[in-house]
């Protein structure tokens, strides 16, 4: 970790904060605001404190993946170069001469370095040890991020587990709630390998060993969130990128092996017959997740380096560190995705779609219906199965990351025949689905022109007046992309009835619109970045998309309730506590940047 701190310093990508800053909200809020800047830096808090208890802690590092530059430094190589190497392995070329054969043999011999190496003896992570009752989770500078969080959560923990027979290892990254000095929540989503191992131990009636590493080489963290096929240990990818094996040492109280250079290690066992209510927690979707039962780890030891640094990240509304981690993941895993969809040219997951909510893909189209076939392939492979909304274009489309031109391209081809509405698994954190883990999906095929008819476009004020004459609950209106065949008309709606009923009434004015999007009172129509974030979060395609035979489409992105047949509790969004931010501004820790606060709706 110190190596990468020095590297960030050398490239002016680190800000050191020596003033006392509270682990309760303050460090998280400062980090949350910093990572949204165009020139964001990693933050090293050298004097973290808990004002309530008066305790002081080891330094805390946040936002280490807080920019494209920092992410590249951590990898030590361009992610596209890693992707090219994977692609070459998947499609090896036959050596043409002895020299090429020798080079290829040498390369294959070097591949032995991808496998993890188990060291004898103890590692740097075990220089200081606390066992049994001496182990105290409250001695760690674990952050509370949001005011309504159920407590403090470890957010950059590398969770190491193994199968019951010890043959398979897994590294995952899950949020971990502190319950008391020796009990830690395990937020295993049901689709993850950690949960699969848990079920093995439960069936056998045995406690499950778990070790959580914090810090060390930051590439461990990125590996922990990668969408590798089931059964492949994520640290093999570490060895592939580093060209050097991950060196592991055995935990002191269980059989789990962890990186020798981790800053902290928390060891213990999960009793598979016990659960604890976990949450709420403001997660990476930008919304609080509900209180639900999850397994609990009983801590048997905490070890650390002599001078450790505690690593944390902050989740909430975009953009955050996952913007940069997700960018690297997207580039590196493109070749693997092409094994499922060979005609895939490229794909992009916009940050304000929080990745699993929206994917854009460019395809070499070979036959009618090809895009819709590719959508099903995406939804059937690994973590791509969590994607809620997929937009496919052909080779003639603009660059996927040029969102303005891309949107124009799609809207000039959009029609009812573009839409594929289906259902499947979704991220367990998705709140819009009718039930946890399963819901509607939307595919948009813009590989050909499905646009229908023309509209009589009128101005916002005139259209708003006409809408209000029909429905007094239409409060505001703004039209986007009016130069395209299918402009987007966004309505702020004071919802007192089902949106479908309002849509059916407004169809009397259908000559003036083609795509209506209803949003709730919490939206600012002048902020399209956050509108995309909220709309992709708030809809379930099967329930919330309506269309007519004449080609008019409606999207209901309002909060749902029993009025809509929605029986779950609709979550609150993650907003900073204004008093905390004001205190940070007064002490010179955070800049008072109202433009940034408004752009990313820091206070809601």
Q: Are strands 21-22 and 48-49 parallel, antiparallel or unpaired?
A: parallel
Contact by Cβ (8 Å): 210, 186 = yes
Q: How far apart are CA 277 and CA 179, in angstroms?
A: 10
Cα angle 266, 271, 277; round to 5: 85
Alpha-carbon distance of 159 to 186, in angstroms, equals 9
Residue among 421, 405, 212 nearest 296 (CA)? 212
Would you give the DSSP letter of residue 24?
B
Q: Quickly tell me which residue has 């380096």 as its tokens.
A: 305
| Strand positions, DSSP E, 528-596 | 545-547, 553-557
CA 331/CA 346 separation, integer angstroms:
9
Is 471 catalytic? The answer is: no
Burial 115-141 (b: 16+ CB within 10 A, else e): ebeeeeeebbbbeebeeeeebebebbb
Q: Give 591: exposed, middle or buried? Use CB within 10 Å, 0-12, 13-18, 19+.
A: exposed
CB 499 within 8 A of CB 518: yes
| Contacts with 412 (C-beta within 8 Å, 6 or more apart), sequence order | 449, 451, 484, 485, 486
Q: Are 149 and 313 in contact (CB under 8 A)?
A: no
Alpha carbon separation from 516 to 475, 489, 501, 555 (Å, rounded): 14, 5, 13, 6
- Per-residue exposure over 390-412, b if at least 16 CB sit within 10 Å of its own CB, e if not: bbbbbeebbebeebeebbebbbe
Q: Choose, from 24, 193, 263, 283, the residue flagged as catalytic.
A: 283
Q: What are residue 590's phi and psi, to 5 degrees?
A: -125, 140
Which helix or strand (DSSP H or E) is residue 331 part of?
helix 321-332
Question: Following DSSP, what letter does each residue of 127-157 receive, concatenated?
Answer: SEEEEGGG--GGGS-PPB-STT-SS-EE-S-
* CA-to-CA separations, 485 to 413, 451, 452, in angstroms, rounded: 8, 7, 8
CA–CA separation, 115 and 117 (whole Å): 7
DSSP 494: -
User: Is residue 171 a contact partner of residue 233, using CB atoms and an 8 Å limit?
Assistant: yes
Neighbours of 40 (CB within 10 A): 23
Alpha-carbon distance 472 to 469, whole Å?
A: 7
28, 145 in Cβ contact below 8 A?
yes
The residues carrying an active-site annotation are 283
């Amino acid at each position: 970790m110190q190596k990468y701190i020095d590297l960030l310093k050398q490239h002016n990508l680190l800000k050191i904060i020596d003033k006392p800053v509270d682990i309760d909200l303050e460090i998280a809020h400062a980090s949350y605001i910093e990572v949204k800047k165009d020139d964001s830096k990693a933050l090293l808090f050298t004097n973290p404190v808990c004002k309530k208890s008066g305790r002081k802690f080891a330094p805390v590092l946040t936002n280490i993946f807080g920019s494209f530059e920092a992410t590249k430094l951590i990898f030590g190589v361009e992610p596209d170069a890693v992707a090219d190497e994977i692609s070459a392995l998947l499609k090896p070329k036959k050596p043409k001469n002895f020299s090429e054969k020798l080079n290829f043999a040498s390369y294959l011999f070097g591949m032995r370095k991808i496998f993890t190496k188990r060291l004898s003896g103890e590692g740097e992570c075990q220089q200081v040890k606390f066992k049994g009752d001496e182990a105290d989770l409250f001695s760690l500078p674990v952050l509370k991020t949001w005011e309504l969080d159920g407590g403090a959560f470890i957010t950059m923990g590398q969770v190491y587990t193994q199968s019951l027979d010890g043959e398979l290892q897994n590294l995952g990254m899950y949020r971990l709630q502190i319950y008391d000095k020796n009990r830690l929540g395990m937020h295993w989503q049901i689709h993850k390998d950690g949960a699969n191992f848990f079920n093995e131990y439960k069936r056998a009636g045995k406690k499950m060993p778990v070790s959580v590493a914090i810090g060390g080489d930051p590439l461990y963290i990125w590996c922990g969130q990668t969408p590798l096929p089931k059964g492949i240990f994520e640290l093999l990818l570490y060895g592939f990128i580093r060209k050097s094996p991950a060196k592991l040492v055995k935990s002191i109280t269980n059989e789990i092996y962890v990186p020798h250079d981790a800053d902290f290690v928390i060891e213990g066992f999960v009793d598979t017959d016990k659960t604890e209510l976990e949450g709420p927690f403001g997660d990476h979707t930008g919304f609080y997740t509900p209180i639900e039962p999850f397994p609990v780890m009983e801590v048997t030891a905490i070890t650390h380096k002599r001078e450790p640094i505690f690593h944390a990240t902050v989740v909430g509304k975009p953009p955050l560190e996952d913007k940069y981690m997700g960018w690297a993941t997207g580039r590196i895993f493109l070749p693997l995705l092409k094994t499922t969809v060979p005609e895939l040219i490229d794909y992009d997951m916009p940050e304000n779609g929080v990745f699993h909510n929206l994917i854009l893909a460019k395809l070499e189209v070979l036959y009618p219906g090809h895009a819709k076939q590719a959508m099903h392939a995406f939804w059937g492979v690994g973590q791509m199965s969590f994607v809620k909304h997929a937009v496919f274009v052909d080779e003639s489309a603009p660059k996927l990351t040029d969102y303005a031109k891309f949107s124009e391209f799609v809207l000039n081809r959009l029609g009812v025949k573009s839409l594929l509405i289906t259902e499947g698994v979704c991220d367990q954190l998705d709140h819009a689905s009718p039930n946890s883990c399963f819901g509607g999906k939307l595919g948009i095929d813009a590989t050909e022109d499905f646009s229908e008819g023309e509209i009589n476009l009128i101005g916002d004020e005139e259209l708003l007046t006409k809408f209000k004459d029909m429905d007094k609950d239409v409060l505001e209106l703004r039209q986007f992309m009016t130069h395209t065949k299918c402009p987007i008309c966004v309505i702020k709606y004071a919802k007192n009835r089902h949106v479908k009923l309002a849509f059916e009434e407004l169809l009397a004015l259908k000559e003036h619109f083609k795509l209506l999007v209803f949003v709730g009172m919490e939206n600012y129509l002048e902020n399209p970045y956050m509108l995309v974030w909220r709309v992709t979060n708030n809809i379930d395609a099967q329930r919330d998309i309506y269309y007519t035979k004449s080609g008019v489409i409606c999207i209901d992105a309002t909060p749902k309730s029993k009025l809509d047949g929605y029986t779950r509790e609709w979550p609150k969004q993650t907003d900073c506590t204004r008093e905390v931010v004001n205190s940070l501004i007064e002490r010179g820790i955070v800049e008072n940047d109202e433009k940034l606060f408004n752009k990313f709706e820091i206070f809601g």
